[in-house]
Amino acid sequence: MRLLEIAVGEGSNRVGLVVDDGVVDLTARFPDRASTFTALLADPGWRSLLDEVNGASGDLASDEIVFAPLLGDTGRVFAAGLNYEKRYPVGTEQPPTPKYPPWFNKVPGTLVGHEQPLLAPTVSESFDYEAELAAVLGGGGRHVPPDRALELVAGWTCFNDGSVRHWQRHSVSAGKNFERSGSIGPWMVTADEIDDPQDLQLLARVDGEERQHASTGEMIFTAAEIISYLSDIIELRPGDVIATGSPEGTGGSFDPPRFLTPGQTVEVEVSGIGTLRNPVVAEQD
């Protein structure tokens, strides 16, 4: 099943279920249990709620909805870095293979939804894309062993960890958290539909040109290992998003670099999930 967030107004999103003829508005049908995406995932019986609408017709046509950033405004977003063996941006020292998963946060306002514009910042011409697989948690806890970590996962989604490389050199958090620089979605595919998150194809395209193409099996740390590691640091919660790193082929790895410019379109595709698509526009002063 595919679950998404629908933008309906300033700071107001609804939860939807994709069906053959559109989208079922779960927030309208179950206002007490699906008021937000986080509230839905925090309900231990959320899967049975989906069974209640099995076979229902859509309340909204697919072309009527505006995609909100899946949990990007209301959830906690953690992102792993340095999780594939690859070349790093020109002029940047090649880091050693990490012994533990490096990670950082993506703050609210950083991510946009499917088909929503990414802002190329005025202060830098080093705006880059990073295609990633992200886990959406439906459970939480501390000190979760790797062999049980995937039990926390409600589903999986596509993630573009937009990065401003020149700023990233003096502050990882700054380079990773420019306004509307990354994206997430279009939807979450429930975990029962993904047999093995380490056996998926991950791609990025810019204006239709393939730039990144790798298997998630090439990760240095598996999704389960990253989730487990984070659980040793903080208490994980339903609604947390954990992005798992990006492979070779980002714009900064080319010589000369091939950074994003206004007018281009970025696509992130993950097999079994779908394609996240965003146009790039110039930030307005």
Is residue 50 very low, low, confident or very high in pLDDT (cuts 50, 70, 90)?
Answer: very high
CATH of 77-282, one of 3.90.850.10, 2.40.170.20, 3.40.50.150, 1.10.760.10: 3.90.850.10
Report domain extents, the chain: 2-64, 77-282
Instruction: State yes or no: pLDDT of 155 exceeds 70.
Output: yes
Q: What is the pLDDT of residues 109-129, one digit of tens each?
A: 999 999 999 999 999 999 999
Q: What is the 3-state secondary structure (H, E, C) of 124-162?
A: CCCEECCEEEEEEECCCECCCCHHHHHHHEEEEEEEECC
Which tokens hold the place of 92?
């940047």
What average pLDDT does range 80-86 have in this prediction?
Answer: 93
Q: Are 89 and 125 a contacting pair, CB within 8 Å?
A: no
Please give the mean pLDDT across all residues of the chain.
95
> Which of 67, 168, 158, 189 is closest to 123 using CA atoms?
168
Higher pLDDT, 93 or 193: 193
SS3 194: coil
Q: What is the pLDDT of residue 12?
A: 81
What average pLDDT does range 175-181 have in this prediction?
Answer: 98
Percent of the chain with pLDDT over 70: 96
% helix / strand / coil in the chain, to the nearest 5?
A: 20, 35, 45
Q: What is the pLDDT of residues 210-252, one digit of tens each?
A: 999 999 999 999 999 999 999 999 999 999 999 999 999 999 9
Residue 11: C-alpha distances to residues 4, 73, 279 (Å): 16, 8, 22
Which tokens hold the place of 52?
């209640």
Q: Are 165 and 276 a contacting pair, CB within 8 Å?
A: no
Is residue 209 very low, low, confident or very high in pLDDT (cuts 50, 70, 90)?
Answer: very high
Q: What is the pLDDT of residue 285?
A: 66
Q: Are 191 and 41 a contacting pair, CB within 8 Å?
A: no
Percent of the chain with pLDDT over 90: 90
DSSP per-residue codes, 238-252: TT-EEE----S--GG
Q: Are 7 and 39 a contacting pair, CB within 8 Å?
A: no
Q: What is the pLDDT of residue 88?
A: 62
Is residue 89 very low, low, confident or very high in pLDDT (cuts 50, 70, 90)?
Answer: low
Q: What is the pLDDT of residues 58-71, one digit of tens each?
A: 999 999 999 999 99
Which tokens hold the place of 39?
């509230």
Q: What is the pLDDT of residue 90?
A: 61
Exposed / middle / buried, residue 49 (Cβ in 10 Å: 0-12, 13-18, 19+): middle
pTM: 0.96
Phi-psi region of 143 (alpha: psi -120 to 50; beta: other; left: phi over 0): left
Q: What is the pLDDT of residue 73?
A: 87
Residue 137: strand pairing partners: 153
